[in-house]
Amino acid sequence: MQKSYRTGGVGMLPAAPGTYLVHAYFDDNQVDLVKIVVVGWQVSPDRRLVPLVIDPRATDEEPWFVIHPCGRVESHDGRGWVDVDDWIDEEKRNRREAA
């Protein structure tokens, strides 16, 4: 078993069914979404909620995004979008402006 040197949390809450950590990969006009089931929320020592997923490295890099069962998308930094389409549209705009 591999050791983890990640700081332990101070608590955990269950996630609602249908909650996903999502990563978007852009290739020209195509967008691939990779969804990972969130099984719970870990309360970090600094009192932030971090999605608990099978692959603990999935939240190591920021930004990370969560799709809630209602369709709302939230970022690790508190930004939010009504749905996946709004989030993807903003990500596309950000990428065009950065290019």
Return the domain boundaries, the chain. 11-98
pLDDT exceeds cutoff 70 at 79: yes
Q: Give the three-class secondary structure for 48.
A: coil
Mean per-residue pLDDT over the chain, rounded = 86
Element (H, E) at 66: strand 65-67
Query: What pLDDT, in 10s, does the model give residues 31-72?
Result: 999 999 999 998 878 778 889 898 877 877 788 999 999 999
pLDDT at site 41: 92
pTM: 0.81
Residue 63: partners with Cβ closer than 8 Å, 6 or more residues away: 75, 76, 77
Q: Which two tokens stand for residue 85?
A: 């389409």
pLDDT at site 57: 79
- Cα separation, 73 vs 18, in Å, equals 12
